[in-house]
Amino acid sequence: MTQTADQITTPQHSVEGFVQDFLRELQFGQGMSMSRASTNDQYLALARTVRTHLMSRWLRTLDHQRDVQAKSVAYLSAEFLLGRQLGNALLATDLEEIVEEGLASLGIDLQRLRSMEKEPGLGNGGLGRLAACFIDSLATMNIPCIGYGIRYEYGIFRQTFVDGWQVEKPDAWLAQGSPWEFPHPEAAVTIGFGGRTEASTVDGRLVTRWIPDWQVQAVPYNYMVPGYHNGRVNTLRLWSAAATESFDLSIFNAGDYSAAVRAQTAAENISKVLYPEDSTPQGKELRLQQQYFFAAASLKDFLDNVLPEGFDLHRLDERIVFQLNDTHPVIAIPELMRILLDEKGWDWDEAWALTQRCFAYTCHTLLPEALEVWSVELLGRLLPRHLEIIYRINEDFLAEVHTAYPDDELRVRRMSIIAEHPERAVRMAYLATVAGTKVNGVAELHSQLLRDKVLQDFSEYMPEKFTNVTNGVTPRRFVRLANPRLSSLITEAIGDGWVTDLDRLRELEPLAEDAEFRRRFREVKAANKTRLVDLLKVRDGIEVSPDSMLDVMVKRLHEYKRQTLKLLHVVSLYDQVRRGDLAASDITPRTVTFGAKAAPGYKMAKQTIGLINAVGRTINADPVLEGRLRIAFPANYNVTLAERLIPAADLSEQISLAGKEASGTGNMKFALNGALTIGTDDGANVELRQLVGDENFFLFGLTEPEVAEIVEKGYRPTSFYESNATLRHALDLIASGAFSDGDRRTFEPIVSNLLYEDRFLVLADFQAYLDAQLVVERAYADPDAWARSAVLNVARSGFFSSDRSMRDYLDRIWHAEAAPVPTA
Ligand code: F58
């Protein structure tokens, strides 16, 4: 008889029990005695000890799901930017104190072991981190969910600086093995590519078959996604590519050993590396291979292995909703159609009706150039059957549109899933919109602009499909784990219910008026700064004064996010001091901190990194500015660094051009950790400001309608350069070579881009930004009033919990319910 989860003994929840388990893992798991074990051995033994605590919950969750068959959410995402796992596992199991004490009794420092963990960097930025927050919330809310994605062997590159320029290094996060993954080679599925389709008539019915000409194996690696203190552990299933045996065999049999090995390498390439985000999607064949690889493997896995045997597929939508995280998994739509039509023998209408009930699509952008398209040539070559299906979907859809708008041929053409120029290509966002039950944007303003601009024709034709779900972040990782001091202060004041019910932070509001609470709040901020200062010294050799205002801009480097605007502020302060227009002693002491990776192929972004470092080198060495103005730019900003930086920040920079940042999620993390925001009326800043109140938010800049109007009339950046001396001097200083050893060519591309193009209206918003920074300085001059505002930011930002986002998805899109896992 097989053992059930209930019969498996849960490890002991005591210090002595933990110490025993840990030593057993060290000796028998890691093969090390205490005296010989390295710190890494100790970390691995600890990770394995902690994961056994999650194991019985995981098995119980699976058993429970098998019994109750509750509707699940399949979150399909090419990226899951998880961050380190150990801290989260300790938190979920409530083992932090026991482990700390147990390790201390062995003379081991828990923090030291935690620092050994390499974070899985399986994402670029906001989109990937959002996926990680969402699966955390679903587990905590007891919603059955499977995350499906790709186990990239190399995650986002490791950023280094050489002479201030970004140099990318591979991120071999798996080099030492990962104790958090569970490979299941026995459950691998085969995924086909290429080849041709064949139509024939069987029993009077037209049947199409796809005969791929090459295949790869998709091997699942399972990761635990623990709920917070609730006994649920959901699964994240990431696929790794491997050569199929049959593939190898045919070539081996032909006697060509090296060709066979090459083929193996080609197969494994599919999950080799995460594509670093670019300013435009690159349309690389390997990327489409990655997309189909994980979308097809996930569908097959769900249909064949997760659904119970004999399940009536007509009811699939009662058991699952496939949420498409941007367009990357959208190829799953024609794949489900192919399975139903070609493998299950359904007719078109019933297959289409079911497919339309099973998918929903989240859009994460507003930049038209970032909307993914695949050339018909490539898609047809790699996935010939899918292209046929997409054509048919389009044909039927356009016929419908034509019926609705018989006299509007232009509209019909605009709405085609197939673009005709500059080449014939499949518009993946249109396909997702046509096929999905719902389409959502990620903040109110974004969803409105999707309806009114990006997908206007579609929202007019099927308004009921469009909805909004404002993003959120998990309070477990981004407050409770990242900011233990603030967490204790909050818990002491209002109890610990906020960790799973973040609206309860409202109860802190009256404490904003309590001088003693404000004092303790400032103490927390100061201690977090000291913790960061210590980290930056060790991690990057950067010296930061804990007494300065910590002004932080951390996010991917993109022109629309406008890191150059922040930099122009710094350059202009420096310039004013140099000219004698401003006394250094009148500058509020600040450390302007950047964290940003640029896509390796994004020239302007890499230039900007070079310029930030160059300006930093100059002003940091200038004795006149000592103790007044510094730039800190630690390399390789990632989730781990975010967890240290955000709790220490005073000022959060959210300065994208209005109408360009879909939501932003950093903005939420900073507010929840008691930083005040200087920001434009963009993305979720809009909602943040409404919640915290105008008086607790530094708003500046053009609004989206104003931007649209200026662009419509013809924007001339030089007019700002000509009419604003401060701006002119700052730009001239960069152009003069002052930050590049007198070489005027080094940063010429940035300067001329700003002067003659400036797509993101940096110059138009410059003066407003400087003025708002003066307001910031005045506010910061009164530390107690600043603390009051910061407390109110915390108290009023509970809305930005990803738990709330999940409730919105559940109510508006998924219609799934909680299924509490019984405890043993
Ligand atoms: C981000 N998108 C949005 N894309 O820019 C941000 O406003 C939003 O808060 C966040 O999604 C979550 O909704 C984003 O991170 C990517 O990283 C893509 C990865 C794949 C290539 C194209 C960019």
- What are 487-499's pLDDT values in tens digits? 999 999 999 999 9
Q: Which of 146, 132, 129 is nearest to 237 (CA)?
A: 146
Nearest CA to ligand 1 atom 6: 664
CA angle (581, 632, 569) in 5-degree steps? 35
The answer to the question of residue 236 being in a domain is: yes
440 CB under 6 A from ligand 1? Answer: no
274 CB under 6 A from ligand 1? Answer: no
Q: Let me know whether 431 and 505 are in one domain.
A: no
Q: Let me know whether 521 and 450 are in one domain.
A: no
Report CA torsion sign: 106, 111, 114, 118: negative
User: Is the N-terminal amide bond of 822 cis, ω within 30° of 0?
Assistant: no
Which ligand 1 atom sits closest to the C-alpha of 442? 13
Residue 125 Cα to ligand 1 midpoint, Å, equals 6
DSSP H or E stretch at residue 25: none
φ/ψ (deg, to 5) at 782? -115, 90
Nearest CA to ligand 1 atom 18: 277
Is residue 479 classed as helix, strand or coil in its secondary structure?
helix
| Test site for ligand 1: of 75, 77, 122, 127, most ligand atoms within 8 A of the Cβ | 127
Give pLDDT, residue 278.
73
* Residue 320 to residue 329: CA distance in whole angstroms: 16
* Residue 625 to residue 613: CA distance in whole angstroms: 16
Which ligand 1 atom sits closest to the C-alpha of 277? 21
Please compute the mean of the pLDDT values over residues 611-630 and round it to a whole number.
98
Residue 653 Cα to ligand 1 midpoint, Å, equals 18
Give pLDDT, residue 248.
55
Q: Let me know whether 497 and 591 are in one domain.
A: yes
Q: Let me know whether 487 and 445 are in one domain.
A: no
DSSP state of 822: P
The answer to the question of residue 749 being in a domain is: yes
Q: Let me know whether 367 and 439 are in one domain.
A: yes
* Residue 261 to residue 258: CA distance in whole angstroms: 5
* Residue 249 pLDDT greater than 70, yes or no: no
* Residue 268 pLDDT greater than 80, yes or no: yes
Q: Read off the pLDDT of residues 565-612 as tens digits, 9 standing for 90 and up.
A: 999 999 999 999 999 999 999 999 999 999 999 999 999 999 999 999
Give pLDDT, residue 247.
56
Range of the domain at 415: 69-83+119-171+180-470+808-814
Beta-strand relationship, 425-427 and 373-375: antiparallel
125 CB under 6 A from ligand 1? Answer: yes
φ/ψ (deg, to 5) at 496? -100, 10
The answer to the question of residue 374 being in a domain is: yes
Q: Are 126 and 664 in contact (CB under 8 A)?
A: yes
* Residue 564 pLDDT greater than 60, yes or no: yes
* Residue 184 to residue 246: CA distance in whole angstroms: 19
The answer to the question of residue 6 being in a domain is: no
Provide the mean pLDDT of the chain. 96
The answer to the question of residue 46 being in a domain is: no
Which ligand 1 atom sits closest to the C-alpha of 372? 22
Residue 372 Cα to ligand 1 midpoint, Å, equals 13
Residue 240 Cα to ligand 1 midpoint, Å, equals 23
Nearest CA to ligand 1 atom 22: 277
* Residue 751 to residue 610: CA distance in whole angstroms: 13
* Residue 6 pLDDT greater than 50, yes or no: no
Residue 47 Cα to ligand 1 midpoint, Å, equals 31
The answer to the question of residue 38 being in a domain is: no
Tally of domains within the chain: 2
277 CB under 6 A from ligand 1? Answer: yes
Under the banding of pLDDT at 50, 70 and 90, the label for residue 757 is: very high
**Residue 755 sits in a domain of what CATH number?**
3.40.50.2000
Please compute the mean of the pLDDT values over residues 380-402 and round it to a whole number.
98
Q: What share of the chain has pLDDT > 70, as a percent?
A: 97
Which ligand 1 atom sits closest to the C-alpha of 124? 17
511 CB under 6 A from ligand 1? Answer: no
Give pLDDT, residue 717.
98
Please compute the mean of the pLDDT values over residues 644-665 and round it to a whole number.
98
Is residue 664 classed as helix, strand or coil in its secondary structure?
coil
Q: Read off the pLDDT of residues 661-717 as tens digits, 9 standing for 90 and up.
A: 999 999 999 999 999 999 999 999 999 999 999 999 999 999 999 999 999 999 999
Please compute the mean of the pLDDT values over residues 73-99 and round it to a whole number.
98
Question: What are the b/e assignments for 377-406, b being 16+ CB within 10 Å?
Answer: ebbbebbbbbbbbbbebbeebbeebeeebe
Which residues fall within 8 angstroms of residue 819, CB to CB, at 6 or more apart? 64, 65, 68, 70, 142, 143, 144
Q: What residues are labeled active site?
A: 364, 555-556, 561, 665, 669
3-state class percentages of the chain: helix first, strand second, coil last, to nearest 5: 55, 15, 30
> How many other CB atoms sit within 10 Å of the CB of residue 364?
18
Q: Let me know whether 540 and 466 are in one domain.
A: no
Give pLDDT, residue 1.
33
Report CA torsion sign: 82, 87, 89, 92: negative
Residue 758 Cα to ligand 1 midpoint, Å, equals 22
* Residue 280 pLDDT greater than 90, yes or no: no
Q: Let me know whether 636 and 680 are in one domain.
A: yes
Which ligand 1 atom sits closest to the C-alpha of 558? 5
Is residue 747 classed as helix, strand or coil in its secondary structure?
coil
Which ligand 1 atom sits closest to the C-alpha of 661? 7
Q: Let me know whether 494 and 517 are in one domain.
A: yes
Residue 339 Cα to ligand 1 midpoint, Å, equals 30
704 CB under 6 A from ligand 1? Answer: no
Give pLDDT, residue 5.
45
* Residue 800 to residue 788: CA distance in whole angstroms: 20
Q: Read off the pLDDT of residues 722-747 as tens digits, 9 standing for 90 and up.
A: 999 999 999 999 999 999 999 999 99
Under the banding of pLDDT at 50, 70 and 90, the label for residue 417 is: very high
Which residues fall within 8 angstroms of residue 502, CB to CB, at 6 or more apart? 475, 797, 798, 799, 800, 801, 803, 804
471 CB under 6 A from ligand 1? Answer: yes
Residue 631 Cα to ligand 1 midpoint, Å, equals 26
The answer to the question of residue 23 being in a domain is: no
* Residue 252 pLDDT greater than 70, yes or no: no
Give pLDDT, residue 120.
96
Under the banding of pLDDT at 50, 70 and 90, the label for residue 258 is: confident
Q: Which residues pair with 233 in a beta bridge?
A: 226
Give pLDDT, residue 251.
64
Q: What share of the chain has pLDDT > 90, as a percent?
A: 93
Report CA torsion sign: 418, 419, 420, 426: negative
Q: Let me know whether 486 and 441 are in one domain.
A: no
The answer to the question of residue 711 being in a domain is: yes
Q: Let me know whether 366 and 221 are in one domain.
A: yes
DSSP state of 273: B
- Tell me the DSSP string of 116-172: TPPP-EE--SHHHHHHHHHHHHHHHTT--EEEEEE--SB-SPEEEEETTEEEEE---
Q: Let me know whether 373 and 268 are in one domain.
A: yes
Please compute the mean of the pLDDT values over residues 419-448 and round it to a whole number.
98
Q: Are 680 and 655 in contact (CB under 8 A)?
A: yes
Q: Are 772 and 485 in contact (CB under 8 A)?
A: no
291 or 7: which leads in pLDDT: 291
Q: Let me know whether 643 and 753 are in one domain.
A: yes
Under the banding of pLDDT at 50, 70 and 90, the label for residue 263 is: confident
662 CB under 6 A from ligand 1? Answer: yes
Which ligand 1 atom sits closest to the C-alpha of 328? 20
Nearest CA to ligand 1 atom 16: 127
Residue 759 Cα to ligand 1 midpoint, Å, equals 19
Nearest CA to ligand 1 atom 2: 127
